[in-house]
Structure 1
């Protein structure tokens, strides 16, 4: 019995391995637009796809970021400045992309642009702090996608949306986790709609990577700025020790992978494979910790995640 099951599992894995090795032909003539290419995943993916021979259209937030990328890539790579929170900037970018791709359409759209701060316990934040993150990570992603979808549909291409394991598990406050849950929901509905047009929609779910959390100084400044605006009552409830633990992100940084290619390899596969996956979990922490946790009963997941969170000074120790 077990031998039969093992043989079936082996055949399934072999078939999957064979399908995933099949590549899309004529990649040298396919255009891919990537947002958020100033640094991190976007910059690395742009250079990676450029080296593979694809025609990369790299959208950067700033001209200095675009200039750095052009200097590191081949003359084939083209850049544009794009603010995903500006409808005017998105409309101008869509018109520029259409002029580049012509009748063949846009093969790939990678929605990579995103921010993580402001982040803090939810009670510390204002509505504006949530909106700031949601406008970039979710609303901007939706508007960019809707503006370029006709070009992607024309090419029967791919939409690759960067979500996160924080789109499955919410264990810190602020707009980041809600935005990534929204990316998951938008991607799922879009995938069902676009399958009738031959367009594939893929979700990338990275675990903790150093670029995703931003640098240590940025987070410490984020916490300090928010802490100083809190009322005396709120500070007393959480305690100075809570704040010091929260801003000690050096320990958190040690758990983050710096191998960004674990993520960009998933993005590349989603764009170049004949049979891409609907979801890619990038990083061993995503595969072995966060993904399994997301399937456990909520009470079990809460018990595990609660051990990772600091305890406020006036919190109830054994809250039900």
Structure 2
């Protein structure tokens, strides 16, 4: 179903209710897994693309969850929400994606406290560096956003800046340590659904150095993170280059 369309969600709900009545079963869990991104500078591309990210990653999750809460409440079941480590660590060119994931983590946190009164458990899954469809959408989205950027803004950055950024992005993708083993994420989902005492947060990764990131991230000063991202990107827009001359 399309989680941005109420009629789709209603049809899904009707199907589930009818199936439960026929089978005599009950609904134990809902796993919210839909997600999209747009990749590029904040002022690039069309605003509608930014809105779409929130419509799927935040409002879509809320729509589906609100619809199915009554069924989950009856069984004291589980609500699972797939967020991202990007919701804890904002990355350049991903302002829409990372902020939407930060928003849904906050929604899940409040929902967990509200649902605890009914015996319903709420967990977030916050993966990092997995090669999903979202991962492979980064380069096409970057190119799409540049093409759809207003001419005055494109002139500020310059075609050479975009070309340098795109080349660096593709180079990082070739060297990426992203994993195709999605089983680690699925295992976290299964545990959140089946465990007697599910975690509030799961941070599935396939490389051990990344396991420490969620632990140390709250203690890293923002200026250190800013410096780190600045070191990763030395390209300068045309506007800055001209000023330097």
Post-superposition Cα deviations, 1:195-250, rounded to whole Å, max 9, x if no partner, equal 111110001111111115332xx433322232223344433432334322433444
Task: Could you tell me which runs of 5 or more consecutive residues in structure 1 were left unpaired when the two chains were aligned.
Answer: 1-81
Alignment of 1:184 onto 2:105: yes
- Please name the residue that 1:137 is paired with: 57
Higher strand share: 1
Residues 182 and 121 (structure 1), Cα distance of their counterparts in 2 relative to 1, 3 Å cut: same
Scaled by the length of structure 2, the TM-score of the pair is 0.85
* Higher relative contact order, chain-length normalized (CA < 8 Å, sep 6+): 2
Instruction: Write the distance in 2 (CA, Å) between the matches of 1:144 and 1:231.
Output: 35
RMSD value, Cα: 2.2
In the TM superposition, what is the alpha-carbon distance from 1:160 to its structure 2 partner? 0.6
Structure 2 match to 1:312: 236
Match of 1:88 in 2: 7
Distance 1:136 1:89 in 2: 13
Would you say the 8 A contact 1:194–1:200 is kept in 2? yes
> Distance between the aligned counterparts of 2:192 and 2:59, measured in 1?
23
Change in Cα spacing, 1:109 to 1:85, as seen in structure 2 (3 Å) is same
Q: Distance in 1 between matches of 2:199 and 2:214?
A: 19
* Structure 1 runs (4+) greater than 6 angstroms displaced: none
- Written as runs of structure 1 = structure 2, the 5 A alignment for 1:170-319 is 170-171=90-91, 172-211=93-132, 213-215=134-136, 218-248=137-167, 249-253=169-173, 254-283=176-205, 284=207, 286-289=210-213, 292-313=216-237, 314-315=239-240
User: Following the alignment from structure 1 to structure 2, what is the Cα–Cα distance between the partners of residues 268 and 232?
Assistant: 48
* Alignment gaps of 5+ in structure 2: none
Report what 2:31 is aligned to: 110
State TM-score, norm by structure 1.
0.67
Q: Deviations over 1:54-74 (max 9, x none)?
A: xxxxxxxxxxxxxxxxxxxxx
Q: CA offset at residue 310 of structure 1?
A: 5.0
Equivalent pair of 2:123/2:199 in contact (CA under 8 Å): yes
- Equivalent in the alignment of 1:51: none
Encode CA deviations 1:3-56: one digit per residue, 9 max, x unaligned.
xxxxxxxxxxxxxxxxxxxxxxxxxxxxxxxxxxxxxxxxxxxxxxxxxxxxxx
Is the 2:45–2:147 contact (alpha carbons within 8 Å) kept by the matching residues of 1?
no
Give how far 1:128 is off.
1.1
Q: Secondary structure at 2:202's aligned position in 1?
A: strand
Distance 2:9 2:86 in 1: 26
Matched residue count:
232
Mapped to 1, the partners of 2:193 and 2:240 lie a distance apart of: 47
